[in-house]
């Protein structure tokens, strides 16, 4: 099987590390060779962050470059637009509709782009936009947006829900598992 590439993008602090670990765990359970690449340190402090998940028969490079991604999972709209050039032709974007102003917008040096979803669709991208923040708050915490999006993604991939549940059990601390299961279920229902 040809190597598949997924990017998880968002703003530092939104929980992309947990999402990538859940996804990596699911793929490993399915018997794929998997690489997950994270960035730690300074760029995590509210900056634009990206995590790569690659899987297939054999995976060499852990990174995904422009024109290489099959799917982009985005926690924030502007970040979906920023990384869209990494998609292959025919690639898909699953994005939260949450917006977070970056510092140049806050200081007035730039404006937040408008109608991002429409413009992404105009690039012939298959875009799924979900209000993950509201669903996460419904589940009990705004921080669970990442797991809501995993729920959405799980409906778009061919693996059994049980595999995802097992990955949740392995990746989420026990005291938050109920809330995250709820967030995951709300993500699945949104599809």
Partner 1 sequence: MKKLMLGNEAFARGLYEAGCKFASSYPGTPSTEITEEIAKYDEVYAEWAPNEKVAVESALGACFAGARAFAAMKHVGLNVAADPLYTASYTGVNGGLVVAVADDPGMHSSQNEQDSRHHAIASKIPMLEPSDSQECKDFAMLGYEISEQFDTPVLIRTSTRVAHSQSAVEQLPRQEKELKAYEKNPAKYVMMPAFAKGRHVVVEERTKKLIEYAETAPINKIEDNGAEIGVITCGAAYQYAKEALGNTVNFLKLGMTNPLPQKLFLDFAAKCKTVYIIEELDGILESHAKNLGIACKGKEIFGCIGELNQVIIAEKLLGKKPEVTSYPEQLPIRPPVMCAGCPHRGVFYNLAKHKIRVSGDIGCYTLGAAQPLCAMDWTICMGSSISCLHGFNKVRGEESSDKSVAVIGDSTFMHSGLNSLVNVAYNASNSTIIILDNSITGMTGHQQNPTTGKNLKGDPAAAVDLEALCHAIGIKRVRVADPYKLSEMEQAILEELAVDEPSVIISRRPCALLKYVKHNAPLHVDTDTCKGCKMCLKLGCPAISMKNGKACIDHTQCVGCGICEELCKFSAIQK
Torsional sign, CA 176, 177, 178, 184: positive
Q: Does 2 bind partner 1 (CB under 8 A)?
A: no
Nearest-approach distance from CB 155 to partner 1, in angstroms: 23
92 binds partner 1, rule: CB under 8 A: no
SS3 63: coil
When the beta carbons of 40 and 158 are compared against partner 1, the nearer one is 40
What is the spatial distance between Cα 83 and Cα 177, in angstroms, rounded to a whole number?
Answer: 30
Letters for 112-151 (x = contact with partner 1 by CB under 8 A, - = none) are xx-----xx-xxx--------x--------x---------
Cβ(154)–Cβ(114) below 8 Å: no
Q: What contacts 35, CB < 8 A, 6 or more positions away?
A: 52, 53, 54, 55, 59, 61, 62
Considering the complex, state which of residue 110 and residue 191 has its C-beta at the smaller distance from partner 1.
110
**Minimum CB distance to partner 1 smaller for 70 or for 191:** 70
Q: Does residue 105 contact residue 86 with C-beta atoms inside 8 Å?
A: no
Q: Please report whether residue 106 would count as binding partner 1 according to CB under 8 A.
A: yes
Measure Cα distances from 87 to 3, 93, 124 in Å: 14, 8, 11
Q: How far is the CB of 16 from partner 1 (least distance, A)?
A: 13
From 93, 102, 144, 152, residue interacting with partner 1 (rule: CB under 8 A): 102
| CA–CA dist 131, 30 (Å, integer) | 29
Which residue ranges make up the site for partner 1 (CB under 8 A)?
3, 11-13, 21, 24-25, 28, 33-48, 59-63, 65-68, 78-79, 81-82, 84-85, 87-89, 100-113, 119-120, 122-124, 133, 142
């Amino acid at each position: 099987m040809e190597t598949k590439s997924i990017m998880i993008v968002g703003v530092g602090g939104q929980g992309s590390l947990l999402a990538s670990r859940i996804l990596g765990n699911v793929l490993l359970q399915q018997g794929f060779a998997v690489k997950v690449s994270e960035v730690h340190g300074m760029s995590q402090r509210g900056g634009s962050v990206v995590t790569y998940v690659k899987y297939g028969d054999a995976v060499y490079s852990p990174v995904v470059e422009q024109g290489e991604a099959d799917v982009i999972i985005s926690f924030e709209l502007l970040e979906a637009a920023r990384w869209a050039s990494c998609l292959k032709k025919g690639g898909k974007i699953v994005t939260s509709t949450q917006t977070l102003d970056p510092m140049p917008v806050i200081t007035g040096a730039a404006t937040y782009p408008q109608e991002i979803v429409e413009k992404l669709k105009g690039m012939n991208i298959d875009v799924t936009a979900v209000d993950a923040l509201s669903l996460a708050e419904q589940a009990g915490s705004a921080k669970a947006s990442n797991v809501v999006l995993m729920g959405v993604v799980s409906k778009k991939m061919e693996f059994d829900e049980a595999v995802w549940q097992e990955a949740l059990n392995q990746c989420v601390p026990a005291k938050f598992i109920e809330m995250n299961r709820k967030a995951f279920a709300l993500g699945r229902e949104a599809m």
